[in-house]
Structure 1
Protein backbone atom coordinates (compact mmCIF):
# COMPACT_ATOMS: atom_id res chain seq x y z
CA UNK A 1 0.00 0.00 0.00
CA UNK A 2 2.74 2.45 0.99
CA UNK A 3 4.64 2.50 -2.32
CA UNK A 4 1.43 2.45 -4.35
CA UNK A 5 0.08 5.42 -2.42
CA UNK A 6 3.32 7.34 -2.87
CA UNK A 7 3.48 6.76 -6.62
CA UNK A 8 -0.16 7.67 -7.19
CA UNK A 9 0.24 10.76 -5.01
CA UNK A 10 3.28 11.94 -6.95
CA UNK A 11 1.49 11.35 -10.22
CA UNK A 12 -1.42 13.50 -9.00
CA UNK A 13 0.98 16.42 -9.50
CA UNK A 14 2.26 15.57 -12.97
CA UNK A 15 3.55 12.65 -15.05
CA UNK A 16 6.86 11.29 -13.76
CA UNK A 17 9.60 8.87 -14.71
CA UNK A 18 10.42 5.83 -12.59
CA UNK A 19 13.82 7.42 -11.91
CA UNK A 20 12.17 10.52 -10.45
CA UNK A 21 9.66 8.47 -8.44
CA UNK A 22 12.39 6.34 -6.90
CA UNK A 23 14.44 9.40 -5.91
CA UNK A 24 11.41 11.18 -4.48
CA UNK A 25 10.42 8.13 -2.40
CA UNK A 26 14.01 7.79 -1.21
CA UNK A 27 14.00 11.45 -0.11
CA UNK A 28 10.67 11.04 1.68
CA UNK A 29 11.65 7.91 3.60
CA UNK A 30 15.22 8.97 4.33
CA UNK A 31 18.66 7.88 3.33
CA UNK A 32 18.70 4.78 5.52
CA UNK A 33 15.78 3.19 3.70
CA UNK A 34 17.05 1.87 0.40
CA UNK A 35 14.51 2.07 -2.40
CA UNK A 36 15.52 0.10 -5.46
CA UNK A 37 14.39 0.42 -9.03
CA UNK A 38 13.53 -3.27 -8.67
CA UNK A 39 10.64 -2.12 -6.45
CA UNK A 40 9.51 0.89 -8.47
CA UNK A 41 9.42 -0.49 -12.02
CA UNK A 42 7.49 -3.70 -11.26
CA UNK A 43 5.02 -1.65 -9.21
CA UNK A 44 4.57 0.79 -12.11
CA UNK A 45 3.91 -2.18 -14.40
CA UNK A 46 1.38 -3.59 -11.91
CA UNK A 47 -0.35 -0.22 -11.63
CA UNK A 48 -0.49 0.00 -15.42
CA UNK A 49 -1.99 -3.50 -15.66
CA UNK A 50 -4.66 -2.49 -13.12
CA UNK A 51 -5.48 0.65 -15.14
CA UNK A 52 -4.26 3.10 -12.49
CA UNK A 53 -1.43 4.55 -14.62
CA UNK A 54 -0.49 4.84 -18.26
CA UNK A 55 3.15 4.43 -19.30
CA UNK A 56 4.36 6.38 -22.33
CA UNK A 57 7.71 5.87 -24.06
CA UNK A 58 9.43 9.15 -24.88
CA UNK A 59 12.65 9.36 -26.83
CA UNK A 60 15.04 12.09 -25.79
CA UNK A 61 18.79 12.43 -26.28
CA UNK A 62 18.99 8.94 -27.84
CA UNK A 63 17.44 7.43 -24.68
CA UNK A 64 14.09 5.77 -24.35
CA UNK A 65 12.40 7.20 -21.26
CA UNK A 66 9.20 5.86 -19.74
CA UNK A 67 6.83 8.39 -18.20
CA UNK A 68 3.94 7.37 -15.97
CA UNK A 69 0.66 9.34 -15.82
CA UNK A 70 -2.24 8.75 -13.49
CA UNK A 71 -5.60 7.74 -14.97
CA UNK A 72 -9.07 8.61 -13.65
CA UNK A 73 -9.21 5.12 -12.16
CA UNK A 74 -5.82 5.82 -10.55
CA UNK A 75 -7.14 9.04 -9.02
CA UNK A 76 -10.05 7.10 -7.53
CA UNK A 77 -7.58 4.58 -6.11
CA UNK A 78 -5.43 7.40 -4.71
CA UNK A 79 -8.39 8.86 -2.78
CA UNK A 80 -9.40 5.39 -1.61
CA UNK A 81 -5.88 4.79 -0.21
CA UNK A 82 -5.74 8.24 1.39
CA UNK A 83 -9.00 7.55 3.24
CA UNK A 84 -7.86 4.18 4.56
CA UNK A 85 -6.72 4.23 8.18
CA UNK A 86 -2.98 3.86 8.66
CA UNK A 87 -2.46 0.27 9.79
CA UNK A 88 -0.56 -0.55 12.96
CA UNK A 89 2.81 -1.96 12.14
CA UNK A 90 6.42 -1.33 11.42
CA UNK A 91 5.81 1.09 8.54
CA UNK A 92 3.00 3.23 9.95
CA UNK A 93 5.30 6.23 10.49
CA UNK A 94 6.40 5.97 6.84
CA UNK A 95 2.78 5.85 5.69
CA UNK A 96 2.01 8.96 7.74
CA UNK A 97 4.98 10.74 6.14
CA UNK A 98 3.71 9.85 2.69
CA UNK A 99 0.13 10.86 3.46
CA UNK A 100 1.27 14.16 4.95
CA UNK A 101 3.40 14.82 1.87
CA UNK A 102 0.50 14.40 -0.56
CA UNK A 103 -2.50 15.51 1.52
CA UNK A 104 -2.94 18.76 -0.44
CA UNK A 105 -5.24 16.81 -2.77
CA UNK A 106 -7.76 16.31 0.05
CA UNK A 107 -10.45 18.66 1.27
CA UNK A 108 -9.66 20.78 4.32
CA UNK A 109 -11.85 18.53 6.50
CA UNK A 110 -10.03 15.43 5.24
CA UNK A 111 -6.66 17.07 5.89
CA UNK A 112 -7.70 17.96 9.44
CA UNK A 113 -8.94 14.40 9.96
CA UNK A 114 -5.57 13.01 8.79
CA UNK A 115 -3.73 15.35 11.14
CA UNK A 116 -6.05 14.32 13.98
CA UNK A 117 -5.26 10.64 13.31
CA UNK A 118 -1.54 11.41 13.31
CA UNK A 119 -2.02 13.40 16.54
CA UNK A 120 -3.72 10.45 18.20
CA UNK A 121 -0.87 8.17 17.08
CA UNK A 122 1.65 10.53 18.66
CA UNK A 123 -0.39 10.83 21.86
CA UNK A 124 -0.45 7.02 22.10
CA UNK A 125 3.33 6.97 21.72
CA UNK A 126 3.65 9.56 24.51
CA UNK A 127 1.38 7.54 26.79
CA UNK A 128 3.16 4.23 26.08
CA UNK A 129 6.60 5.79 26.48
CA UNK A 130 5.72 7.49 29.74
CA UNK A 131 4.54 4.14 31.11
CA UNK A 132 7.83 2.50 30.11
CA UNK A 133 9.85 5.34 31.64
CA UNK A 134 7.89 5.03 34.89
CA UNK A 135 8.56 1.29 35.02
CA UNK A 136 12.27 1.80 34.28
CA UNK A 137 12.51 4.37 37.08
CA UNK A 138 11.11 1.90 39.63
CA UNK A 139 14.29 -0.17 39.52
CA UNK A 140 17.53 1.75 39.29
CA UNK A 141 20.18 0.02 37.22
CA UNK A 142 22.72 1.00 34.60
CA UNK A 143 20.74 -0.80 31.88
CA UNK A 144 17.54 1.01 32.86
CA UNK A 145 19.36 4.36 32.88
CA UNK A 146 20.50 3.82 29.29
CA UNK A 147 17.10 2.53 28.23
CA UNK A 148 15.44 5.57 29.81
CA UNK A 149 17.64 7.83 27.67
CA UNK A 150 16.43 6.09 24.50
CA UNK A 151 12.81 6.29 25.60
CA UNK A 152 13.34 9.94 26.49
CA UNK A 153 14.32 10.57 22.88
CA UNK A 154 11.19 8.77 21.64
CA UNK A 155 9.10 10.88 24.01
CA UNK A 156 10.66 14.12 22.77
CA UNK A 157 10.13 13.14 19.13
CA UNK A 158 6.45 12.44 19.75
CA UNK A 159 5.99 15.71 21.65
CA UNK A 160 7.66 17.66 18.84
CA UNK A 161 5.36 15.94 16.32
CA UNK A 162 2.35 16.94 18.45
CA UNK A 163 3.47 20.59 18.49
CA UNK A 164 4.05 20.45 14.73
CA UNK A 165 0.55 19.03 14.14
CA UNK A 166 -1.06 21.77 16.24
CA UNK A 167 0.81 24.54 14.36
CA UNK A 168 0.06 22.94 10.99
CA UNK A 169 -3.67 22.73 11.76
CA UNK A 170 -3.69 26.40 12.76
CA UNK A 171 -1.91 27.36 9.53
CA UNK A 172 -4.30 25.28 7.44
CA UNK A 173 -7.33 26.93 8.99
CA UNK A 174 -5.84 30.38 8.27
CA UNK A 175 -4.98 29.46 4.66
CA UNK A 176 -8.40 28.04 3.78
Structure 2
Protein backbone atom coordinates (compact mmCIF):
# COMPACT_ATOMS: atom_id res chain seq x y z
CA UNK A 1 0.00 0.00 0.00
CA UNK A 2 2.81 2.46 0.90
CA UNK A 3 4.56 1.67 -2.36
CA UNK A 4 1.85 3.52 -4.30
CA UNK A 5 2.25 6.77 -2.39
CA UNK A 6 6.04 6.72 -2.41
CA UNK A 7 6.26 6.08 -6.14
CA UNK A 8 3.55 8.67 -6.80
CA UNK A 9 5.27 11.38 -4.77
CA UNK A 10 8.55 10.66 -6.54
CA UNK A 11 6.94 11.29 -9.95
CA UNK A 12 7.19 15.01 -9.22
CA UNK A 13 10.56 15.28 -7.46
CA UNK A 14 13.33 13.42 -5.69
CA UNK A 15 12.97 13.28 -1.90
CA UNK A 16 14.76 12.18 1.21
CA UNK A 17 13.47 9.25 3.24
CA UNK A 18 12.57 11.65 6.03
CA UNK A 19 10.41 13.80 3.73
CA UNK A 20 8.75 10.70 2.22
CA UNK A 21 7.96 9.41 5.71
CA UNK A 22 6.38 12.75 6.65
CA UNK A 23 4.19 12.71 3.53
CA UNK A 24 3.21 9.11 4.13
CA UNK A 25 2.22 9.81 7.73
CA UNK A 26 0.06 12.77 6.72
CA UNK A 27 -1.65 10.81 3.95
CA UNK A 28 -2.78 7.83 6.02
CA UNK A 29 -6.39 7.64 7.16
CA UNK A 30 -6.48 7.76 10.09
CA UNK A 31 -3.20 9.66 10.39
CA UNK A 32 -0.50 7.74 12.20
CA UNK A 33 3.24 7.72 12.64
CA UNK A 34 5.53 5.60 10.49
CA UNK A 35 8.77 4.47 12.09
CA UNK A 36 12.17 4.45 10.43
CA UNK A 37 12.05 0.68 10.94
CA UNK A 38 9.16 0.55 8.48
CA UNK A 39 10.20 3.31 6.10
CA UNK A 40 13.80 2.50 5.32
CA UNK A 41 13.33 -1.24 4.68
CA UNK A 42 10.50 -0.27 2.30
CA UNK A 43 12.77 2.15 0.44
CA UNK A 44 15.47 -0.55 0.27
CA UNK A 45 12.93 -3.00 -1.13
CA UNK A 46 11.86 -0.48 -3.80
CA UNK A 47 15.52 0.08 -4.68
CA UNK A 48 16.19 -3.68 -4.84
CA UNK A 49 13.25 -4.03 -7.24
CA UNK A 50 14.70 -1.30 -9.44
CA UNK A 51 11.84 1.13 -8.85
CA UNK A 52 14.00 3.80 -7.20
CA UNK A 53 17.67 4.69 -6.95
CA UNK A 54 19.40 6.81 -4.34
CA UNK A 55 21.27 9.89 -5.48
CA UNK A 56 23.67 11.88 -3.33
CA UNK A 57 22.48 15.41 -2.81
CA UNK A 58 24.96 18.00 -3.99
CA UNK A 59 26.34 20.45 -1.46
CA UNK A 60 25.38 18.55 1.69
CA UNK A 61 27.84 17.91 4.45
CA UNK A 62 26.13 14.76 5.70
CA UNK A 63 26.04 12.88 2.36
CA UNK A 64 22.27 13.13 2.29
CA UNK A 65 20.63 10.86 -0.27
CA UNK A 66 17.45 11.37 -2.20
CA UNK A 67 15.20 8.70 -3.65
CA UNK A 68 14.77 9.05 -7.42
CA UNK A 69 12.08 7.29 -9.46
CA UNK A 70 13.33 5.05 -12.29
CA UNK A 71 11.51 4.25 -15.53
CA UNK A 72 10.56 0.86 -14.04
CA UNK A 73 9.27 2.67 -10.96
CA UNK A 74 7.11 4.94 -13.09
CA UNK A 75 5.67 1.91 -14.91
CA UNK A 76 4.96 0.26 -11.55
CA UNK A 77 3.31 3.46 -10.32
CA UNK A 78 0.99 3.51 -13.36
CA UNK A 79 0.08 -0.16 -12.76
CA UNK A 80 -0.78 0.56 -9.13
CA UNK A 81 -2.86 3.59 -10.09
CA UNK A 82 -4.88 1.51 -12.57
CA UNK A 83 -5.40 -1.39 -10.13
CA UNK A 84 -8.79 -1.74 -8.48
CA UNK A 85 -9.14 -0.94 -4.78
CA UNK A 86 -10.54 -3.61 -2.49
CA UNK A 87 -13.27 -2.61 -0.09
CA UNK A 88 -11.46 -3.17 3.17
CA UNK A 89 -10.05 -1.12 6.05
CA UNK A 90 -7.25 0.28 3.85
CA UNK A 91 -9.63 1.53 1.14
CA UNK A 92 -9.69 5.19 2.16
CA UNK A 93 -5.90 5.42 2.51
CA UNK A 94 -5.33 3.78 -0.86
CA UNK A 95 -7.73 6.18 -2.57
CA UNK A 96 -6.02 9.12 -0.84
CA UNK A 97 -2.67 7.83 -2.12
CA UNK A 98 -4.13 7.61 -5.60
CA UNK A 99 -5.51 11.14 -5.39
CA UNK A 100 -2.05 12.34 -4.40
CA UNK A 101 -0.61 10.75 -7.56
CA UNK A 102 -3.27 11.89 -10.05
CA UNK A 103 -0.93 14.35 -11.79
CA UNK A 104 1.18 11.42 -12.99
CA UNK A 105 -1.55 9.62 -14.94
CA UNK A 106 -3.81 10.24 -17.92
CA UNK A 107 -7.29 11.77 -17.71
CA UNK A 108 -9.10 8.49 -18.37
CA UNK A 109 -7.36 6.77 -15.47
CA UNK A 110 -8.09 9.78 -13.26
CA UNK A 111 -11.77 9.51 -14.17
CA UNK A 112 -11.79 5.77 -13.46
CA UNK A 113 -10.31 6.31 -10.00
CA UNK A 114 -12.96 8.93 -9.23
CA UNK A 115 -15.71 6.62 -10.52
CA UNK A 116 -14.47 3.76 -8.32
CA UNK A 117 -14.29 6.05 -5.29
CA UNK A 118 -17.78 7.37 -5.97
CA UNK A 119 -19.18 3.84 -6.18
CA UNK A 120 -17.60 2.94 -2.84
CA UNK A 121 -18.85 6.11 -1.16
CA UNK A 122 -22.34 5.74 -2.62
CA UNK A 123 -22.47 2.18 -1.32
CA UNK A 124 -21.47 3.40 2.15
CA UNK A 125 -24.04 6.18 1.98
CA UNK A 126 -26.81 3.76 1.02
CA UNK A 127 -25.93 1.47 3.92
CA UNK A 128 -25.81 4.33 6.42
CA UNK A 129 -29.15 5.66 5.19
CA UNK A 130 -30.78 2.24 5.54
CA UNK A 131 -29.55 1.83 9.12
CA UNK A 132 -30.54 5.43 9.90
CA UNK A 133 -34.13 4.81 8.74
CA UNK A 134 -34.28 1.59 10.75
CA UNK A 135 -33.09 3.30 13.92
CA UNK A 136 -35.48 6.21 13.43
CA UNK A 137 -38.35 3.75 13.14
CA UNK A 138 -37.27 1.92 16.30
CA UNK A 139 -36.98 5.23 18.14
CA UNK A 140 -40.47 6.40 17.17
CA UNK A 141 -41.97 3.03 18.13
CA UNK A 142 -40.23 2.94 21.50
CA UNK A 143 -42.24 3.67 24.62
CA UNK A 144 -39.16 4.17 26.80
CA UNK A 145 -36.30 6.63 26.85
CA UNK A 146 -33.78 5.37 24.26
CA UNK A 147 -30.64 7.49 24.53
CA UNK A 148 -28.73 4.59 22.98
CA UNK A 149 -30.76 4.94 19.78
CA UNK A 150 -30.42 8.73 19.77
CA UNK A 151 -26.64 8.45 20.02
CA UNK A 152 -26.50 5.78 17.34
CA UNK A 153 -28.47 8.13 15.07
CA UNK A 154 -26.16 11.04 15.91
CA UNK A 155 -23.17 8.88 15.08
CA UNK A 156 -24.75 7.97 11.76
CA UNK A 157 -25.34 11.69 11.12
CA UNK A 158 -21.56 12.13 11.19
CA UNK A 159 -21.02 9.23 8.77
CA UNK A 160 -23.71 10.58 6.44
CA UNK A 161 -22.18 14.07 6.52
CA UNK A 162 -18.75 12.67 5.68
CA UNK A 163 -20.17 10.69 2.74
CA UNK A 164 -21.98 13.77 1.41
CA UNK A 165 -18.80 15.86 1.74
CA UNK A 166 -16.81 13.25 -0.19
CA UNK A 167 -19.43 13.08 -2.94
CA UNK A 168 -19.38 16.90 -3.24
CA UNK A 169 -15.59 16.80 -3.41
CA UNK A 170 -15.84 14.25 -6.23
CA UNK A 171 -18.23 16.48 -8.17
CA UNK A 172 -15.81 19.41 -7.86
CA UNK A 173 -12.85 17.24 -8.89
CA UNK A 174 -14.64 16.07 -12.00
CA UNK A 175 -15.34 19.67 -13.01
CA UNK A 176 -11.67 20.56 -12.56
CA UNK A 177 -10.51 17.50 -14.49
CA UNK A 178 -12.82 18.46 -17.35
CA UNK A 179 -11.34 21.97 -17.31
CA UNK A 180 -7.82 20.51 -17.30
CA UNK A 181 -8.73 18.17 -20.16
CA UNK A 182 -10.05 21.09 -22.25
CA UNK A 183 -7.01 23.24 -21.49
CA UNK A 184 -4.68 20.38 -22.42
CA UNK A 185 -6.62 19.75 -25.63
CA UNK A 186 -6.42 23.43 -26.58
CA UNK A 187 -2.68 23.48 -25.90
CA UNK A 188 -2.21 20.42 -28.13
CA UNK A 189 -4.05 22.04 -31.06
CA UNK A 190 -1.93 25.22 -30.98
Shorter-normalised TM range: over 0.9
Unaligned stretches of 5+ residues in structure 1: none
Distance 1:174 1:58 in 2: 37
Residues 139 and 90 of structure 1, relative CA distance in 2, 3 Å threshold: same
Match of 2:128 in 1: 129
Paired residues, number: 175
Instruction: Describe how 1:71-110 pairs up with structure 2 within 5 A.
Output: 71-110=70-109
User: Following superposition, which runs of at least 4 residues in structure 1 exceed 6 angstroms of deviation?
Assistant: none
Structure number with higher strand proportion? 1
Distance 1:4 1:157 in 2: 27
Cα deviation, 1:95-149, whole Å, max 9, x if unaligned, reads 1111011111111111111111111111011101011112212322211110111
Matching residue of 2:37: 38
TM-score, normalising length: structure 2: 0.86
- Stretches of structure 2 lacking an aligned partner (at least 5 in a row): 140-145, 182-190
1:156 aligns with 2:161: yes
Structure 2 partner of 1:169: 174
- Asked if structure 1 preserves the Cα contact closer than 8 Å seen for 2:56 and 2:64, the reply is yes
Aligned equivalents of 1:168, 1:5: Cα separation in 2: 21
